[in-house]
Amino acid sequence: MPVPGKLPYAISIVLLILGIVVGFFVGQGTAPVATVTVTAPGVAPPTTITVTAPVAPTGLTGEVKIGALLPLTGVLSTFGAQYRVVIELAEKEINDYLASLGRPWRIKFVIEDTATDPKTHLDKLMALHGAGVKIFIGGASSAELSEALGYCNANKILIISPSSTSPALALKDMALRYTLNDIYQGKAIAKIMWLRGIRWVIPVWRGDTWGDGLARYTLDYFKEICKASGESCGVLEEYAIRYDPKATEFSVEAARLNEAVSRAVATYGKDKVGILLISFEEAAAVFAAAKAYSILWEVKWMGSDGTAAIEPLRDPAIADMVIKVGFYNTMTSPGVSPHGEKIRSAVRSKLGMEPMGYTYFVYDIAWSVALALDAVNSYDPVEVMRILPMVLERYLGASGYIVLDENGDRSVGDYDIWAIVKVDGVYEWKIIGIYKGLTETIEWYTS
């Protein structure tokens, strides 16, 4: 029989435990609260006490959606087709992995076509965000990423790009980029042109965030090499052609290029003149217009990551010219990894083409995001972004080890050199060499 005015011992213990729990979570300041009802034993009549106490969050459960904004159509459609293949591969692998661990959640990549259009990319991102998606693979082009950044930063949305390379986007923001920016690619392209014997460059480029940046850094580095050499060389800026990114027909540009190359060859010789074309898939239309001029077949051409391994240049109507002019293209190399062969096998099986370097990066984005989500056990883009560098320190992906710099961009890497070759009557893309970033040297491969 309890003593009047005294709290029964059993109730004291219950309240003591609840007090400790409440005190802990109040100190944390983040846990949700729930109403807990306790019936104290040994009390006549039975006494019921209701206390409001915090409960720990339940963590990830069910389907966790990640947006995948891919250029399935438009001038980066080759990129988008490959990206889709490896995202679907990664989704199955990740969910098998989560099941093996007994996790109560599964990942779901929600794929949307951006048409390689910045506004469409932003519209699709905003629509998915409205449906609760807060982490994205996107910004395949720098123009798309640039258009989305303001919204991502304002709403704390994490977006990770496999192929945006503009130096203008090397910022501390809500975007990460698993590829090198074009400060490095510009150096690689300039050195490759120089080693190929080009001494006078006529630049033609896509007039957007990406094209302007890559053209600038490439030409500046070429001028540095030229100055250090003491040779007669340089950039023929009076002949430069900057074209509208929306252009689809290039007869006027081809005529201008013909006149420029003709004059340059007359002065310096065709072995010393080269064309730098910084473009996306519209490069096929550039070559279609250029092939009408014989002099444009007689000088070397140089490309970039925007035209490496793209399908339109395999068109037999232009592929012979692409081969004849030695149209070499750079793209960040995925390096050597035990996971590389399954990526190659998947893309070859589905699309009948060799995977580009950026395709390996997409696979690594998918997996590293999943591992980060599992580590933080919360669909929190800020926390995922915070922990990703630590995940990457311990992650060996399809593109090897990934180190991000202070701006969240990949900081170490080499460049594969891609060219079209003709094998048994079939036009194929092939990696013909590699530019080593640390030594600024080129290793050419033999067949």
pLDDT tens column, 275-284: 999 999 999 9
Residues 419/327, Cβ–Cβ less than 8 Å: yes
CATH T-level topology, domain 63-180+335-393: Rossmann fold (3.40.50)
Task: Tell me if residue 417 falls in helix, strand or coil.
Answer: strand
pLDDT over threshold 70, residue 44: no
Residues 191/198, Cβ–Cβ less than 8 Å: no
Read off the pLDDT of each residue in 346-354 and give the average, rounded to a whole number.
97
CATH of 183-334+415-444, one of 3.30.70.3450, 3.50.30.50, 3.40.50.2300, 3.20.20.70: 3.40.50.2300
Residues 26/20, Cβ–Cβ less than 8 Å: no
Nearest residue to 62 via CA among 34, 85, 95, 37? 95
Where are the domains positioned within the chain?
A: 9-54, 63-180+335-393, 183-334+415-444
Read off the pLDDT of each residue in 358-379 and give the average, rounded to a whole number.
98
Tens digit of each residue's pLDDT (9 = 90 or more) over 74-89: 999 999 999 999 999 9
Query: Given this model, what pLDDT does residue 447 score?
Result: 54
Burial class (CB in 10 A: 0-12, 13-18, 19+), 442: middle
**Cis-peptide into 45, omega within 30 deg:** yes
| pLDDT tier at 229, thresholds 50, 70, 90 | very high
Tens digit of each residue's pLDDT (9 = 90 or more) over 128-171: 999 999 999 999 999 999 999 999 999 999 999 999 999 999 99
- Is the fold of 63-180+335-393 the same as that of 183-334+415-444? yes
Residues 331/354, Cβ–Cβ less than 8 Å: no
Query: Given this model, what pLDDT does residue 446 score?
Result: 74
| pLDDT tier at 412, thresholds 50, 70, 90 | confident
Query: Given this model, what pLDDT does residue 237 score?
Result: 98
Cα 132 to chain centroid, rounded: 22
Strands, E assignment, 43-166: 47-54, 62-70, 105-113, 135-137, 158-161
- Which tokens in the block code for residue 130? 């409205």
pLDDT over threshold 80, residue 11: no
Query: Whole-angstrom Cα distance, residue 410 to residue 407?
Result: 9
pLDDT over threshold 60, residue 30: no
